[in-house]
């Protein structure tokens, strides 16, 4: 049985946001010679390479027999970052990012979404080491060099020390540290999802002005600018009574519901005693340094919220559960046991 539309929508939205955020987290470190053999240093090197290099390439993501590809153009001059990500499969979609401002354009429907990434903690960047403490949950293993998209690459594996996260195998461009390929593995070492450049040009000369002009060419588009408000679980009347080992809070915001949810949740549809606000939800983002989990808290709507068993799309799973007048959904590229701990650990604070 396929997962319900609301879960599929969140999982796919999460995957799209991940592609925007994968090149977005600043960690300014300069390296020379061989890459360091340390978990935090490796992650910082990957981030730094994405920030300091201009490149153009085709990026392919495959999982469960499905494959999607995008064309990435990334400009960096040491001050500004500008990138364009064009979906090459399915519905035409273009994602532009100028530093923390992101424009998502759907030319076929002439609609556009404009967001400020820092308001949601650059959600959901998969590389967020913070002070590096969380990366203690992984053991670093190194392998022999291989070739990816015509470039020599160092292979590193982040092996988890518990059952709350998946192993990750990464290929780093030998000279720059740019992430060329990433495999997410299950506990048996089988590939759940693979994302890789199929071709890549480094050190290309790009026109920042051309990319910016494209980004702001919105005549005739219906533009949406969702508003995010920083908040805390305590302010929203919640608490995570048992922290999930290795995961730290990255950001908590109150954000708009997806439009189709707001339309479905007609006035009076939520359970008695709920806030009645069916236009916004709370999103809490947690990270262990390599992956993240998002927890959504929204008013329960009987016509909409029916499935409490796990659902999976590609490497990303979702687990939903009713909690009184509320509906809790945890989403992440982690084992369901980790999502279970987030959902079970969230409690409504007594008045």
CATH assignment of the domain containing 70 = 2.50.20.10
Task: Map residue 122 onto helix, strand or coil.
Answer: coil
- Mark whether 139 and 203 lie in a shared domain: yes
199, 222, 245: which is the final residue of a domain? 222
Task: Map residue 150 onto helix, strand or coil.
Answer: coil
- Mark whether 85 and 197 lie in a shared domain: yes
- Mark whether 319 and 334 lie in a shared domain: yes
> For 173-182, 224-233, 238-247, 276-285, which range has the lowest pLDDT when averaged over its residues?
276-285
203, 222, 241: which is the final residue of a domain? 222
- Mark whether 154 and 267 lie in a shared domain: no
CATH assignment of the domain containing 242 = 3.30.200.100
Q: How far apart are CA 250 and CA 341, in angstroms?
A: 17
- Mark whether 51 and 129 lie in a shared domain: yes
Best CA proximity match to 305, nearest among 313, 317, 297 = 297
- Mark whether 153 and 267 lie in a shared domain: no
Half-sphere exposure of 52 (CA within 13 A, CB side): 15
Mean of pLDDT values over 18-42: 45
- Mark whether 278 and 293 lie in a shared domain: yes
Q: How far apart are CA 328 and CA 322, in angstroms?
A: 6
- Mark whether 265 and 212 lie in a shared domain: no
Q: Dump pLDDT digits (tens) for 119-138.
A: 444 333 444 444 444 688 89
pTM given for the model: 0.81
- Residues 154, 178: contact at Cβ < 8 Å? no
Share of the chain above pLDDT 90, in %: 55
Return the higher-pLDDT residue of 109 and 21.
109
Return the sign of the alpha-carbon dihedral for residues 229, 114, 3, 342: negative
For β-strands 146-148 and 55-63, DSSP reports them as: unpaired
The pair of structure tokens assigned to 56 is 């153009």
> For 32-46, 47-61, 257-271, 282-296, which range has the lowest pLDDT when averaged over its residues?
257-271
For β-strands 222-224 and 111-116, DSSP reports them as: parallel
Q: How far apart are CA 125 and CA 14, in angstroms?
A: 10
- Mark whether 150 and 60 lie in a shared domain: yes
Per-residue confidence band for 302, with pLDDT thresholds at 50, 70 and 90: confident
Per-residue confidence band for 264, with pLDDT thresholds at 50, 70 and 90: low
- Residues 245, 109: contact at Cβ < 8 Å? no
Q: Dump pLDDT digits (tens) for 148-200.
A: 999 999 999 999 999 999 999 999 999 999 999 999 999 889 999 999 999 99
Q: Is the model's pLDDT at 289 over the cut of 60?
A: yes
Q: How far apart are CA 40 and CA 31, in angstroms?
A: 13
- Mark whether 201 and 254 lie in a shared domain: no
- Mark whether 103 and 42 lie in a shared domain: yes
Best CA proximity match to 278, nearest among 288, 266, 286 = 266
Q: How many CB atoms lie within 10 A of CB 154?
A: 21
Task: Map residue 305 onto helix, strand or coil.
Answer: coil
Best CA proximity match to 285, nearest among 249, 325, 312, 257 = 249
222, 253, 278: which is the final residue of a domain? 222
Question: Average per-residue pLDDT in the chain?
Answer: 81
Structural domain span for residue 28: 5-222
pLDDT of residue 203: 86
- Mark whether 185 and 258 lie in a shared domain: no
Q: Where are the beta strands (DSSP E) in 268-333?
A: 280-287, 292-299, 311-313, 316-323, 326-332
What separation in angstroms does the CA of 65 have from each of 40, 193, 336? 33, 10, 21
Number of structural domains in the chain: 2
Per-residue confidence band for 118, with pLDDT thresholds at 50, 70 and 90: low
């Amino acid at each position: 049985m396929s997962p319900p539309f609301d879960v599929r929508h969140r999982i796919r939205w999460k995957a799209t946001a991940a592609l925007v955020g994968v090149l977005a987290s600043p960690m300014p470190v300069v390296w020379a010679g061989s890459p360091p053999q340390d978990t935090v240093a490796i992650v910082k090197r990957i981030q730094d390479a994405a920030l300091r290099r201009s490149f153009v390439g085709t990026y392919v993501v495959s999982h469960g027999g499905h494959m999607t590809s995008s064309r990435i153009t990334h400009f960096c001059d040491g001050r500004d970052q500008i990138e364009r990500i064009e979906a090459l499969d399915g519905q035409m979609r273009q994602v532009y990012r100028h530093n923390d401002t992101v424009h998502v354009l759907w030319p076929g429907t002439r609609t556009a979404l404009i967001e400020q990434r820092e308001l949601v903690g650059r959600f959901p960047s998969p590389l967020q080491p913070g002070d590096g403490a969380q990366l203690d949950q992984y053991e670093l293993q190194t392998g022999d060099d291989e070739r990816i998209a015509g470039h020599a690459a160092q292979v590193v594996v982040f092996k988890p020390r518990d059952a709350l996260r998946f192993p990750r195998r990464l290929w780093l461009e030998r000279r720059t540290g740019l992430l060329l390929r990433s495999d997410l593995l299950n506990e048996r070492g089988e590939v759940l999802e693979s994302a890789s450049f199929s071709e890549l040009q480094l050190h290309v000369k790009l026109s920042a002005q051309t990319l910016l002009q494209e980004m702001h060419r919105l005549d005739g588009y219906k533009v949406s600018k969702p508003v995010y408000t920083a908040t805390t679980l305590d302010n929203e009347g919640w608490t995570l009574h048992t922290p999930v080992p290795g995961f730290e809070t990255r950001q908590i915001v109150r954000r708009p519901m997806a439009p189709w949810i707001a339309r479905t949740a007609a006035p009076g549809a939520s359970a008695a005693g709920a806030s009645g606000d069916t236009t916004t939800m709370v999103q809490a983002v947690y990270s262990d340094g390599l992956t993240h989990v998002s927890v959504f808290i929204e008013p329960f709507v009987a016509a909409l919220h029916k499935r409490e068993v796990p659902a999976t799309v590609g490497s990303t799973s979702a687990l939903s559960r009713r909690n009184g007048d509320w509906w809790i959904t945890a989403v992440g590229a982690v084992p369901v046991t980790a999502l279970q701990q987030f959902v079970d650990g969230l409690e409504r604070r007594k008045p």
